[in-house]
Amino acid sequence: MPYQLLAYEVQPGDSADQIINRYYGPVSQLRKAEIKDKIASLNPHLSSVTALPPGQLIMLATPKQYCAVPANFERIIEAEAAPGKHPWFHQLNDEWRSMDRAERDLAYHVSPYMAGAGAASLAMMNTTFRTNAPLVGEIASLYESYRSGDLSKGQYDYRRRVALRTLSEKLGPTQSLLYGGRPPGEVIRINRQSGVSSTATIDREMRRMTGLAKTASRGGIALSVVGLGVACHDIASAATRQEKNEILVQSGGSITSGLAYAVVSGVALLLIATPVGWVGALTIGLGGAIVSYGGGAVARKIYDRNGSQIDFVEKLGVDHVCSSASRNESYSATESIISGRATFMR
Amino acid sequence: MEVADSLFVVMLTLSAMIFSVVPFAFILWYALHLVLSPRLDPLLFKDPYFTRSEQVSYQCFPLSFLKSGNYVYLLVAPSLAKKRRFKGLSEPVPVGRVMRIVCVVQLSLMCLGSLVGILWFLLMGYAAFVVLL
């Protein structure tokens, strides 16, 4: 039986009775007490279900037709309330608690589009959300501009409304397919089939978003390391000394560009442009990767035009190191094949 | 000497300078991060010096280094730092003279590295658009 998981922000004036009436329909007092127990089991972070403070985020399991709660629905909620089953909600709740009103407002508007990219049940909707991801990023960066003082409150509100209206127009009927008319407070709503762990996708999206900044900023370093390993293999495999030197110069130029970008952006962030959120870190990290690639390519062309007067590969002993490394890889592969055969034959 | 030859020599020189300055600056930054963060977080890593979103995002790598970078900035140029971020900070910062000198060295290396980095990008841009195209 399909149902929905909902991350709901308690609105001013909300009570547990009103929330239950809204999502489960008019039920008897006994049934209401049972549902309250189930809400408490889904939300162990709540001290009391009867006194819900405004702004508190709670998770609800709601039937798709909320005026028609089936008899066995409590068993579904019990299954959902298993400990550790919804890391995405706990992560969202942790972030939510640290946000101020403006941040929650932004997250409320943006989260369905971000969550929709992972939780959409149709490939067409998934593609639609993903192609509009840059607009979502623009909305997030507007907020950061406001927080850093580049935009006034009025400018931020106006531009955010324009961006959200644009996003809504671009998404068109897809958002109504997923969410219909979204009432205030419904931060994220996820369709679920009984017995299917469809929140795995939103778990992944949440982890991906928080991990993106780390990954992007490490991208410059990782690319350099990967580049060095690949370059060594390419140098060993290159047919001519000219080609070996070009590869080495390109790698060196790429690393130099990456280092230069890192130090310039570091100083710029400290002296000029703070605060920096995950959108900023992602942009900086991706910029580093692009700059590294471009710097390496230009360095190679300069060396090529220069006429390759200097044999760096021989002077630095790179040829010997990379050739040895390449041979060692072959030896290791051969040894493992030989030892594997010996084991088999025993 | 052909333009490409001169470009190549300048490129090698700048590259050598970057390799000799920047890694050392980042290593120093890491060391300062390990020392300053536990000491200054209770005093400075809170409202109003860091916004709520910064207090969440700056807890882990890599944005945590921006936090310690701001501490270094405060120790090296307190009057400028207090105009930008640490407005209203009146308590003395509990850091000794030796640590302040290390902060000055680190920030100087970063600024020097930035200057060389900007020259590197100007050179690459010139090479890409004027000489090679």
The answer on A125 and A39 residing in a single domain is yes
Neighboring chain A residues of B132 at a CB cutoff of 8 Å: 298, 301-302, 305
Mutate to test the interface with B, among A143, A214, A267, A310 (most CBs of B within 10 A): A267
> Are A88 and A192 within 8 A, CB to CB?
no
Give the percent of chain A with pLDDT over 70. 46
pLDDT at position A306: 67
Q: Which two tokens stand for residue A240?
A: 């001519």
Between residues A222 and A235, the one the model is more confident about: A235
Tokens of A289: 């990767």
Tell me, what's the pLDDT at A177? 45
Mean pLDDT of B106-118: 90
Our separate counts of H helices and E strands in chain B read: 5, 0
Alpha helices in B45-96 (DSSP H): 52-57, 64-76, 78-84
Q: Is the pLDDT of residue A206 over 70?
A: no
Q: Are A151 and A142 in contact (CB under 8 A)?
A: yes
Per-residue pLDDT of A45-75, as tens digits, reads 888 888 888 888 888 877 665 445 556 666 7
Lowest mean pLDDT among A28-37, A101-110, A135-144: A101-110
Residue A217 has pLDDT above 60, yes or no: no
More confident residue, A323 or B50: B50
* Strand residues in chain B grouped as ranges (E): none
Residue in the block written with tokens 């041979």: A327
Provide the percentage of residues in chain A whose pLDDT is more than 90. Answer: 0
A104 → chain B, closest CA residue = B53
Domain match, A35 and A131 both: yes
Please determine, for residue B21, whether its predicted confidence score (pLDDT) is greater than 90. Answer: no
Structural domain span for residue A88: 3-204
Q: Are A117 and A126 a contacting pair, CB within 8 Å?
A: yes
Contact A112, A153 (CB under 8 A): no
Across the interface, of A147, A263, A294, the residue whose CB is closest to B25 is A263
Average pLDDT over residues A33-50: 85
pLDDT at A18 over 80: yes
B36: pLDDT strictly greater than 70: yes
What is the C-alpha separation between B72 and B33, in angstroms, rounded? 9
Number of structural domains found in chain A: 2
Q: Among B87, B56, B15, which Cα is nearest to A303's?
A: B15
Q: Please tell me the distance in Å from A277's CA to the nearest CA on chain B.
A: 6
Mean pLDDT within B111-124: 88
To the nearest 10°, report the CA torsion of A11, A14, A15, A19: -80
Please report the pLDDT score of residue A324 as a whole number.
54
**pLDDT for the residue numbered B133:** 59
- The parent domain of residue B13 ranges over 3-131
Write the residue in A267, A302, A303 that is nearest to B114 by C-beta: A267
Q: How far is CA B59 from each of CA A279, B45, B56, rounded to the nearest angstrom?
A: 16, 10, 6
CB contact under 8 A, A266 and B85: no
Judged by CB atoms closer than 8 Å, whether chains meet at B121 and A266 is answered as: no
Cβ–Cβ contact B48 with A under 8 A: no
pLDDT of residue A12: 82
| A8 pLDDT higher than 80 | yes
Residue that finishes a domain, picked among A204, A234, A249: A204
CA–CA distances in Å: residue A173 to residues A37, A111, A121, A128 = 37, 17, 15, 11
State whether A200 and A131 are in the same domain.
Answer: yes
Closest Cα to residue B58, out of A213, A151, A207? A213
The answer to whether residues A168 and A175 touch, using CB atoms and an 8 Å cutoff, is: yes
**pTM assigned to the model:** 0.46
Lowest-pLDDT range of A110-114, A196-200, B43-47: A196-200
Mean pLDDT of A270-298: 70
Identify all chain B residues contacting A262, using CB atoms and an 8 Å cutoff.
22, 26
Amino acid A343 reads T
pLDDT at A168: 66
Answer yes or no: are the C-beta atoms of A41 and A81 closer than 8 Å.
yes
* Interface contact flag, B70 A270, Cβ < 8 Å: yes
Query: Hunting for tokens 């671009």 — which residue is that?
Result: A170
- pLDDT, residue B105, reads 93
pLDDT of residue B75: 92
Task: Identify whether residues A172 and A221 lie together within a single domain.
Answer: no
Same structural domain for residues A166 and A43? yes
Q: Say which residues have a Cβ less than 8 Å from residue B51's Cβ, sequence separation at least 6.
A: A147, A275
Q: Do A267 and B4 touch (CB under 8 A)?
A: no
pLDDT in the model for residue A197: 47
What residue type is A334 in one-letter code? T
Instruction: Verify that A250 and A118 share a domain, yes or no.
Output: no
The alpha-carbon gap from B123 to the nearest alpha carbon of chain A, in Å, equals 10
Q: Could you tell me which residue, A279 or A115, shows the higher pLDDT?
A: A279
- The distance of B37 to chain A (nearest Cα, Å) reads 16
Peptide bond into A53 cis (omega under 30): no
Task: Say if B40 is an interface residue toward chain A (CB within 8 Å).
Answer: no
Comparing CB atoms, the residue among B56, B62, B132 nearest residue A305 is B132
Cis peptide before A54 (omega within 30 of 0): no
The answer to whether residues A154 and A41 belong to one domain is yes
Shared domain for A194 and A215, answered yes or no, is no
Same domain, A36 and A170: yes
The token pair that represents A109 in the structure block: 């508007």
Cβ atoms of A130 and A174 within 8 Å: the answer is: no
pLDDT of residue B89: 84
C-alpha–C-alpha distance, residues A97 and A4, integer Å: 23
Of the listed ranges A212-221, A252-261, B42-51, B115-124, the least confidently predicted one is: A212-221
Query: Is A166 buried (19+), middle (13-18) or exposed (0-12) by CB count in 10 A?
Result: middle
By C-alpha distance, the chain B residue nearest A144 is B53
Exposed, middle or buried by CB within 10 Å (0-12, 13-18, 19+), for A283? Answer: middle
Evaluate if residue B110 carries a pLDDT over 70: yes
If asked whether residues A83 and A217 sit together in one domain, one would say no
Residues A200 and A228 in one domain: no
* Range B5-28 burial, b when 16+ CB lie within 10 A, else e: eebbebbbebbebbeebbeebbeb
* Residues in chain B closer than 8 A to A307 (CB atoms): 4-5
Subunit contact B19:A299, Cβ cutoff 8 A? no
pLDDT in tens, B57-100: 777 767 788 889 999 999 998 888 888 888 888 888 888 899 99
Query: What does the pLDDT average to over A248-270?
Result: 80
**ipTM confidence:** 0.76
- Tell me which DSSP letter residue A182 carries: P
Residue A189 is predicted with a pLDDT of 58
> Which residue among A95, A264, A301 sits closest to B56, beta carbon to beta carbon?
A95
pLDDT confidence of residue B28: 92
Angle of CA points A150, A155, A161, to nearest 5°: 125
Closest Cβ opposite residue A263 in set B22, B51, B53: B22
Q: Is the pLDDT of residue B31 over 90?
A: yes
Which tokens belong to A276? 């920096």
- Domain total of chain B: 1
More confident residue, A342 or A197: A197
